[in-house]
Amino acid sequence: MRILVTAFGPFDGRPENASSLALRGLKKSFPKILTRVLPVDSVVAPARLKHALERIRPTALIMLGEAAGSKKIRLETTAWNELDFTIPDNAGRQPLSQPIIPGAPASLASTLPLEKIHARLTDLGHEVCFADDAGRYLCNQVFFVARHFLGQQPIEIPAGFIHLPLAHDYPTDQAVAALAAVIGSF
Ligand code: PCA
């Protein structure tokens, strides 16, 4: 299997992003996974992700980001075709109330085995929930772009988004353990 796991770099004045901290730890346990850290830039991030998908042709895609305020690992069920940034991205862009891909469906579902992942993480004692709103910012954007792109390929792969709490709300080693269990469910 070629598993691609993406995370985001820092944004919103915080020095680190919990998702890239966790990704670094995960790579140590699973050196064979392919990784990309995307910038919080609404033009560069989707372009880089699509480029990685074309180059790597992964057999599974797990996208990670951080969700400030969340105490649980959020298994995102749905990507929404809307940009409505509450803060600008790192390049200063702030699209409001506009589609990500005009003419594409209003929403696209995760194709990760979320029920199985939820059961597995719960059994291991992790704080985990399903969530149907990944925001209208970069995480939702790359989730939608990836699902749209992959939906047009001849073979569908499991692909979806997982939001991690900030590192002070969910220690990185625990997030890494949870993600290791996610990887182990493929
Ligand atoms: N979280 C933001 C973007 C990058 C990240 O880690 C979001 O939820 O959209």
pLDDT at residue 134 is higher than 90 = yes
pLDDT at residue 186 is higher than 90 = no
For tokens 């996208």, the residue is: 63
CA angle 46, 95, 40 (to 5 degrees): 40
Q: Tell me the per-residue pLDDT of 137-155, one tens digit each, with 9 for 90 and over.
A: 999 999 999 999 999 999 9
Q: Which atom of ligand 1 is nearest to the CA of 65?
A: 6
Residue 16 has a pLDDT of: 97
Q: Tell me the per-residue pLDDT of 93-117, one tens digit each, with 9 for 90 and over.
A: 999 999 999 999 999 999 999 999 9
Identify whether 129 is a catalytic site residue.
Answer: no
Question: Which stretches of 77-137 are DSSP H helices?
Answer: 114-123
| CB-CB neighbours of 65 under 10 Å | 28
Q: What is the pTM of this model?
A: 0.98
For tokens 């372009």, the residue is: 47
Identify whether 163 is a catalytic site residue.
Answer: yes
SS3 64: strand
Identify whether 54 is a catalytic site residue.
Answer: no
Q: What are residue 70's phi and psi, to 5 degrees?
A: -80, 140
Handedness of CA 174, 118, 181, 110 (dihedral sign): negative
Residue 185 has a pLDDT of: 82
Ligand 1 and 174: CB distance under 6 A: no
Q: Which atom of ligand 1 is nearest to the CA of 8?
A: 6
DSSP state of 55: H
